[in-house]
Amino acid sequence: MSLKIRLARGGSKKRPYYHVVIADARAPRDGRFLEKVGHWNPMLPKDNASRVELNLERIQEWIAKGAQPTDRVLRFLAEAGVAQRETKNNPEKAKPGKKAQERTAERAQKEADAKAAASEAAAAE
């Protein structure tokens, strides 16, 4: 049985609240779980101490048994100093889309044509 340490959503509409749970990887997100080991309230400010609360002892026990944390939970564990998370880098994500690149090229072409026309007009005088 593959176990995950993941988030289960609670709270009402537009007011999210998440429980950090140990669950079977095949179980639905808000479905059956084995144990609650913490919670996360994203509505609180980032500097608030009760924004993320984890039972680190139980989490370490579950990791020793083979449970894999999801990326978001791994971020919390890295902040707590329990686990190491590799930084991710996707330089392609920062690039503008195809249409935006076409608009930029078109704008640059118009500016170049305008400069050329202005220099020709100045040379003719």
Domain count, the chain: 2
73 & 95 share domain = no
pLDDT > 90? residue 18? yes
63 & 109 share domain = no
45 & 95 share domain = no
Q: Is residue 63 part of a domain?
A: yes
Angle at 61 between CA 4 and CA 23, to 5 degrees: 25
Reported as a single tens digit per residue, the pLDDT across 27-68 is 988 889 999 999 999 999 999 989 999 999 999 999 999 999
55 & 23 share domain = yes
| Domain housing 72 | 3-80
CB 55 within 8 A of CB 73: no
Token pair belonging to 30 = 């808000």
pTM over 0.85: no
Q: Is residue 8 part of a domain?
A: yes
- Cα(90)–Cα(81) distance, rounded to whole angstroms? 25
CA 15 vs CA 102, 103, 111: distances in Å:
40, 39, 48
